[in-house]
């Protein structure tokens, strides 16, 4: 009981109304029946536990009976995190030789204007920012993929008619 209270657990065997077959242990003399075995589940999933029963017919080689619980977990999709989407340059344009030449000239002009940094981290940040800026200026943004619709327009029209 203390463990369940400390860890916010719910005892599953006491949640359900059954006949007098709740005993999970029989004494060797056959006179005493106790409910000493339980299923503990997190309080968060308490509504997922549908039933707890004692299986008397299961031969498990013990003086305890098997305790069986039935769970049904409902999965929900995780909401998409509304994070800032990074623009990606359209590198497909580099297959065109004129774009490659334009990209190389623009990149060379930007690197000529850069001031030599002493710190390695600053050099890397300047290099990365320069390549990103030139890529976006010369190549442009990659267009987002448009998802295909599951239903065609004719199917939608038929649904509206009904």
What's the predicted TM-score (pTM) here? 0.40
pLDDT digits (tens, 9 = 90+) for 41-72: 888 877 787 777 777 776 677 777 777 788 88
Question: Please, which pLDDT band fits residue 19 given cuts at 50, 70 and 90?
Answer: low
Question: Please, which pLDDT band fits residue 20 given cuts at 50, 70 and 90?
Answer: low
Largest CA distance in the chain: 95
Report d(CA 13, CA 64) in Å as an integer. 15
State the Rg of the chain over Cα. 34
Q: Which residues pair with 43 in a beta bridge?
A: none
């Amino acid at each position: 009981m203390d463990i369940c209270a400390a860890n916010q657990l719910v005892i599953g065997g006491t949640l359900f109304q059954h006949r007098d077959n709740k005993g999970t242990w029989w004494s060797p003399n056959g006179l005493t029946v106790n409910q000493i075995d339980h299923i503990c589940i997190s309080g968060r999933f308490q509504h997922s536990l549908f039933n707890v029963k004692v299986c008397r017919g299961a031969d498990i080689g013990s003086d305890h009976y098997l305790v069986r619980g039935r769970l049904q977990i409902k999965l929900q999709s995780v909401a998409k995190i509304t994070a800032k989407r990074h623009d990606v340059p359209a590198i497909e344009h580099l297959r065109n030789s004129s774009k490659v030449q334009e990209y190389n000239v623009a990149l060379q002009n930007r690197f000529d204007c850069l001031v030599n940094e002493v710190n390695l981290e600053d050099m890397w940040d300047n290099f990365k920012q320069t390549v990103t800026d030139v890529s976006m200026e010369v190549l442009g943004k990659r267009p987002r993929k448009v998802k295909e619709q599951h239903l065609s327009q004719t199917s939608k029209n038929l649904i509206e008619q009904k």
